[in-house]
Structure 1
Amino acid sequence: MSLRSLALLSLCVFLTACNKINQENYSQIKSGMTKVEVEKLLGAPTDCSGALGMSSCTWGDEKTFISVQYAGDKVLMYSGQGLK
């Protein structure tokens, strides 16, 4: 195996291991958690929006994502798709 192939393989393994958008982390989200607790688990969200004390944040992309809806600072509902 060439050095270039080995480096590419190592990078792929590293990136997969660093992905926080997975079933294991999704299973740790609970209603009532704070935004800070969720962001500690998943990192910074990809997108957030909200109004009047309600907000929604998403981590990931169109195929693989975790979406969390907050009432104030607390998790109200959450969903995920394409998680492994």
Structure 2
Amino acid sequence: MKLRSLALLSFCVLLAACSKVNQENYSKISAGMSKAQVEQLLGSPTECSGALGMSSCTWGDQKAFISVQYAGDKVLIFSGQGLK
């Protein structure tokens, strides 16, 4: 039973360490990138919303996230918080 718990804990730590929501990937985002390029870098967003040709997508959670605002299909502005 202890081995199973240790394996599960190790998996969770490894999964958290592999997050694409980090400072390195944030620094690769630039204005004018396409949605496809951002999603290739960060994976599928956690949440998206938008209207009238403008949209906003967020990756991560309340502690660490990257938020990208698009005009059409292109990055307009972006921000991040809690990135390591």
TM norm structure 2: 0.88
Instruction: Among all aligned residue pairs of Structure 1 and Structure 2, give the percentage whose two residues are the same amino acid.
Output: 77
Matched residues, number: 83
The answer as to 2:83 corresponding to 1:83 is yes
- 1:23-63 CA-partner distances (Å, limit 9, x unpaired): 00000000000000000000000000000000000001111
Give 5+ residue unaligned stretches, structure 2.
Answer: none
Deviation (angstroms), 1:3: 3.5
Query: Which residue identity does 2:69 align to in structure 1?
Result: Q
Counterpart for residue 73 of structure 2: 73
SS in 2 for 1:7: helix
Q: In structure 2, what is the Cα distance between the partners aligned to 1:23 and 1:48?
A: 21
Deviation (angstroms), 1:9: 5.2
Q: In structure 2, what is the Cα distance between the partners aligned to 1:39 and 1:28?
A: 12
Q: In structure 2, what is the Cα distance between the partners aligned to 1:22 and 1:36?
A: 18
SS in 2 for 1:39: helix
TM norm structure 1: 0.88
Give 5+ residue unaligned stretches, structure 1.
Answer: none
Counterpart for residue 36 of structure 1: 36
Provide runs of 4+ in structure 1 moved above 6 Å: none
